[in-house]
C-alpha cells in the first residue's frame, strides 16, 4: 500500500458537502452523494521553489 500517493478530499469541490465516498472507477476517484458528481483527486507535483511564509 506504499508508494502510492492518496489524497482524500474533505469536502466536495463542487457543492462543498462532506458526503464523499471512494468511487470504483479508479484510484483517486471520489463520488459526492450530495450532488452525485464523480471527480478525481490527483497529485500534480510540488512547487519548485517550495513554500514561503
Ligand atoms: Zn458535491
CB contact set of 15 (below 8 Å; sequence gap of 6+): 32, 34, 35, 37
The pLDDT, as a whole number, for residue 42 is 87
Average pLDDT over residues 30-39: 97
Number of domains, the chain? 1
Average pLDDT, the chain: 88
Domain that holds residue 9: 1-42
Answer yes or no: is pLDDT of 52 > 80.
yes
Instruction: Tell me whether residue 4 is in a domain.
Output: yes
Instruction: Tell me whether residue 47 is in a domain.
Output: no
Asked if residue 6 lies in contact with residue 28, where contact means CB atoms within 8 angstroms, the answer is yes
Residue 50 CA to ligand 1 center (angstroms) comes to 31
Residues with CB under 5 A from ligand 1 (ion): 12, 14-15, 17, 32, 34-35
Cell numbers standing for residue 1 = 500500500
pTM: 0.72
Per cent of the chain over pLDDT 90 is: 60
Residue 45 CA to ligand 1 center (angstroms) comes to 25
Quote the CA–CA distance of 49 and 20 in Å, as a whole number: 33
Instruction: Tell me whether residue 49 is in a domain.
Output: no
Amino acid at each position: 500500500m506504499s508508494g502510492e500517493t492518496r489524497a482524500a478530499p474533505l469536502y466536495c469541490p463542487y457543492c462543498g458537502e462532506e458526503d464523499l465516498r471512494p468511487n470504483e472507477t479508479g484510484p483517486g476517484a471520489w463520488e459526492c452523494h450530495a450532488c452525485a458528481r464523480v471527480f478525481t483527486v490527483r497529485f500534480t507535483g510540488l512547487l519548485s521553489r517550495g513554500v514561503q511564509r
